């Protein structure tokens, strides 16, 4: 009889420890949502690398007097906008996965990591708006035949650089937390 009581206490302590560590079913669910969110976020980051290259090329070409006609500029903007639409949808889907984790109980490490990743996803959605603003400046310039508003482009570029630094910092914090807490 005494062995059963000791076994019950040990099992209860192990269950409590498992809940604190984020072990068990809740951790499996959190890990699953995190994996989905991380895969989506990786897709977004890959698309943004392409967006960045294409937008920089468009701005450089336009500033250099190449491809300044409204139809050519519009075609390139449409191509970049399609990538922004895809990346925005993926960022929103990633954010939804992280929000599921953030609402969970018993997995504090995953919750904190999901919050950091979610901030990154939301930052990428904000970057979307900045890039669209830059494209709008170029499109307006092309349509009117006037030089692009370089002060506006520089201001948007500075905001994008700051946002990029913030996203990199958040990603670093999330990666460090994952390693430290063994959340993989």
In the chain, domain spans: 25-181
Q: What is the mean pLDDT of residues 58-65?
A: 88
Q: Residue 71 is encoded by which pair of tokens?
A: 């139809």
**pTM for this model (two decimals):** 0.81
DSSP-derived letter for residue 28 is H
Among 182, 160, 165, 44, residue whose Cα is nearest residue 113: 182
Q: Classify the phi-psi angles of 88: left when phi > 0, otherwise alpha if psi is within -120 to 50, otherwise beta.
A: alpha
- Per-residue pLDDT at 17: 40
Asked if the model's pLDDT at residue 172 lies above 80, the reply is yes
Q: Classify the phi-psi angles of 24: left when phi > 0, otherwise alpha if psi is within -120 to 50, otherwise beta.
A: left
Kindly report, residue by residue over 65-109, the tens digit of the pLDDT: 887 789 999 999 999 999 999 999 999 999 999 999 999 999 999
More confident residue, 62 or 79: 79
CATH 3.30.110 matches 25-181? no
Q: What is the mean pLDDT of residues 43-52?
A: 92
> How many H-runs (helices) and E-runs (strands) does the chain carry?
5, 0
Rounded alpha-carbon distances, angstroms, from residue 15 to 5, 8, 25, 95, 133? 15, 10, 12, 31, 53
Among 43, 42, 75, residue whose Cα is nearest residue 58: 75
What's the distance, CA 109 to chain centroid?
A: 19
Q: Are 48 and 87 spatial neighbours (Cβ–Cβ below 8 Å)? A: yes
Q: Are 69 and 8 spatial neighbours (Cβ–Cβ below 8 Å)? A: no
Task: With both helix axes pointing from N to C terminus, report the angle between 150-181 and 108-144 in degrees, rounded to the nearest 10.
Answer: 160
């Amino acid at each position: 009889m005494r062995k059963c009581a000791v076994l019950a206490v040990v099992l209860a302590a192990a269950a409590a420890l498992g809940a604190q560590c984020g072990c068990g079913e809740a951790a499996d669910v959190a890990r699953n949502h995190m994996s989905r969110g991380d895969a989506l976020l990786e897709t977004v980051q890959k698309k943004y690398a392409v967006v960045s290259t294409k937008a920089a090329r468009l701005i450089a070409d336009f500033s250099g007097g190449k491809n300044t006609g409204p139809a050519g500029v519009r075609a390139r903007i449409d191509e970049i906008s399609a990538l922004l639409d895809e990346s925005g949808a993926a960022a929103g889907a990633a954010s939804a996965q992280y929000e599921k984790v953030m609402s969970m109980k018993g997995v504090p490490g995953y919750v904190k990591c999901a919050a950091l990743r979610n901030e990154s996803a939301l930052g990428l959605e904000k970057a979307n708006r900045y890039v669209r603003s830059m494209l709008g400046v170029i499109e307006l310039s092309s349509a009117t035949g006037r030089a692009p508003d370089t002060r506006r482009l520089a201001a948007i570029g500075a905001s994008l650089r700051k946002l990029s630094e913030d996203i990199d910092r958040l990603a670093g914090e999330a990666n460090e937390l994952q390693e430290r807490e063994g959340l993989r």
